[in-house]
């Protein structure tokens, strides 16, 4: 069956050999510009609120946006970031006004996230990259931990802009100041898979899970995907099982388990996994791939014979 499955866009298939396959990321769950949504960013990074002389009002209230007559202290990261998901144009304008009145790293960060929402991933990626790598570093938004979070955002933005080499570079820089950071290692692994370098992913994430056995499901799914693409199916099965032990209803883990099962000749198990993906997240990117895989499976007479009673 492994030879029957097609190499689908963004579906990390490939032969049993560890060779470049021209494939996309396994875990890009969103189409086109696959970036974390602004509300996810807010939950991850609560940027330090600046002192303020007057409240800017509700985030979506443009009448409350500070004007030229206001002191710079009137702008806050919370107000700007709260606009990103609902009103990215407003967030962009707010951040630009803030920058014109003394705003610095927090304003630039909000501006970059607004640009992501507006579809300008390359400009946003460069702005985030600069926040991570270029001096001066000052204030609470310059700590290694905050810059690591911004580096993950930069990786995702570079990937959405189609520049995985830049994604790897900024991830490596951030790992130098934040060694062993799980989110950074996982982000780098996504970029390495985009560059069709599963060997490097096996090395990167193999070391991570060896030192961090409590690593999350995404690390194990990416590791399993890379091992499968290198022909290490036994290890891939072990690691995708660990991912599912952590997150039994994770669509990416179920999609990957189905791919592995198909490659070892378990068409029934593969079909079960892919159908489960459709049940759990019918509108997700993994569901699109699962539908394609099920269609290929249904068209394969060998698979049909294997499933016959």
Residue 180, SS3? Answer: coil
Lowest mean pLDDT among 100-104, 163-167, 203-207, 247-251: 100-104
Of the two residues 69 and 273, the one the predictor is more confident about is 273
**Is the pLDDT assigned to residue 64 strictly greater than 60?**
no
pLDDT of residue 178: 95
What DSSP designation does 7 have?
Answer: -
Helix segments in the chain, DSSP class H: 38-44, 77-84, 88-100, 105-117, 121-133, 144-160, 164-177, 182-194, 198-211, 217-229, 233-246, 251-263, 267-280, 285-298, 301-307
Average pLDDT of the segment spanning 6-18: 40
236 alpha-carbon distance from chain centroid? 21
pLDDT of residue 47: 37
Q: What angle do CA 283, 288, 292 make, to 5 degrees?
A: 150
Average pLDDT of the segment spanning 271-288: 95
pLDDT of residue 230: 97
Of the two residues 19 and 123, the one the predictor is more confident about is 123
pLDDT of residue 207: 95
Distance CA 241, CA 90 (A): 44
**Is the pLDDT assigned to residue 106 strictly greater than 60?**
yes
**Average pLDDT, rounded, for the chain:** 81
Q: For the residues of 22-66, what is the DSSP string, one character each?
A: ----S---SSSS----HHHHHHH--PPPPP-SS---STT-GGGS-
Average pLDDT of the segment spanning 226-246: 97
Instruction: Assess contact for 219 and 186: CB atoms under 8 A.
Output: yes
pLDDT of residue 102: 87
Tens of pLDDT, residue by residue over 40-59, are: 443 334 333 333 333 333 33
Distance CA 196, CA 201 (A): 10
Tens of pLDDT, residue by residue over 132-147, are: 999 888 877 889 999 9
Distance CA 7, CA 300 (A): 15
Token pair in block for residue 276: 């489960």
What DSSP designation does 136 have?
Answer: -
Domains along the chain with CATH numbers: 198-304 (1.25.40.10)
Distance CA 74, CA 72 (A): 5
pLDDT of residue 254: 97
Average pLDDT of the segment spanning 20-40: 36
Distance CA 81, CA 36 (A): 14
**Proportion of the chain above pLDDT 90, given as a percent:** 67
Distance CA 99, CA 234 (A): 53
Instruction: Assess contact for 179 and 151: CB atoms under 8 A.
Output: no
pLDDT of residue 136: 85
pLDDT of residue 307: 55
Residue 14, SS3? Answer: coil
């Amino acid at each position: 069956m492994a030879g029957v499955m097609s190499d689908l866009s963004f579906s990390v298939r490939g032969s049993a050999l560890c060779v470049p396959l021209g494939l996309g990321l396994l875990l890009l769950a969103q189409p086109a510009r696959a970036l974390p949504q602004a509300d996810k960013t807010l939950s991850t990074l609560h940027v330090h609120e600046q002192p303020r002389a007057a409240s800017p009002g509700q985030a979506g209230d443009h009448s409350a946006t500070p004007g030229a007559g206001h002191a710079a202290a009137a702008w806050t990261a919370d107000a700007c970031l709260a606009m990103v998901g609902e009103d990215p144009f407003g967030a962009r304008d707010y951040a630009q006004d803030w920058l014109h009145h003394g705003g610095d790293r927090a304003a630039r960060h909000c501006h970059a996230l607004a640009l992501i929402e507006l579809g300008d991933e390359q400009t946003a990626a460069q702005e985030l990259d600069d926040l991570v790598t270029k001096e001066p570093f000052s204030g609470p938004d310059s700590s290694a931990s905050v810059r690591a979070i911004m580096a993950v955002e930069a990786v995702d933005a570079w990937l959405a802009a189609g520049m995985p080499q830049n994604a790897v570079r900024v991830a490596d820089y951030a790992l130098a100041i934040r060694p062993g950071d799980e989110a950074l290692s996982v982000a780098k692994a996504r970029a390495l898979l985009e560059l069709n370098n599963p060997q490097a992913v096996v090395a990167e994430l193999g070391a991570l899970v060896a030192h961090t056995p409590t690593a999350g499901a995404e690390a194990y799914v990416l590791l399993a995907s890379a091992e499968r693409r290198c022909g290490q199916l036994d290890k891939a099965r072990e690691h995708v099982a660990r991912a599912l032990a952590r997150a039994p209803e994770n669509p990416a883990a179920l999609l990957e388990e189905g791919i592995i099962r198909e490659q070892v000749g378990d068409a029934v198990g593969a079909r079960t996994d892919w159908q489960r993906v459709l049940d759990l997240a019918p509108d997700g990117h993994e569901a699109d791939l699962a539908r394609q895989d099920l269609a290929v499976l249904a068209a394969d007479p060998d698979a049909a014979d294997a499933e016959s009673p």
